[in-house]
Amino acid sequence: MAKKPLTVLTRKLKEGLSWKKTAFIFIGAAICTFGIHNIHQQTGITEGGVIGMMLLAEHWLAIPPAVITPILDLSCYLLAYRYLGGRFIKISMLSTISVSICYKFWDQFPRMLPDLTAYPLFAAILGGVFVGIGVGMIVRQGGSSGGDDALALTISNVTHWRLSRAYLFTDLLVLGLSLTYIPFMRIAFSVLTVTISSFLIDLIQNLKLQRYESPKRI
């Protein structure tokens, strides 16, 4: 008896996903968005990657973020599909939905951390830690939190660079262009936060966990 199309589709969607992997993706999304909501958005730390390109397009070309962001993200995902395959896109869809849900969740609450605008160095470090750990957990599960991650993973796959180098390449390129309209000191703190987050993403993705083995009884 032939399987129903819906059953086949459901099975294909579940391939490569487990409850454990899904839980780690959602926890990573919660950590990342918590940092962006409570630190980046509050202190005005500028991002590199797709977010930075969106801000550039909005400033110089007057293209609304609602228009340019989906175009940039879709372009990055199409490129990633070419080099990383359909499984990556499937997991990334779950990651992107998780990020959106977490953003919506944190938006329901007032800021949970003190305003760090007067302490940009501390804000840059702490923000980079939140984003690095959160996105690192997502990337470790084989997905991405947005077009930025998809682009960096594609560059890493094609050039065989370390992931941290691929992230820094795209981020520093965009932040360099952002100097055309953003003061140098603000860009300097942004460079610090993307450097920290890039290092942590790479570290978490390549972290080797040893299984605990109980000692043998004599």
What number of residues does the chain have? 218
Mean pLDDT of 84-88: 87
**What pLDDT band is residue 212 in, cutting at 50, 70 and 90?**
very low
189, 123 Cβ separation under 8 angstroms: yes
128, 48 Cβ separation under 8 angstroms: no
Phi, psi of 208 (to 5 degrees): -100, 115
User: Is residue 125's pLDDT more than 90?
Assistant: yes
Taking CA atoms, 109 is separated from 34, 38, 102, in Å, by 11, 10, 12
- Cα 218 from Cα 147, distance rounded (Å): 54
User: Is residue 59's pLDDT more than 90?
Assistant: no
- Cα 201 from Cα 189, distance rounded (Å): 18
What pLDDT sits at residue 92?
86
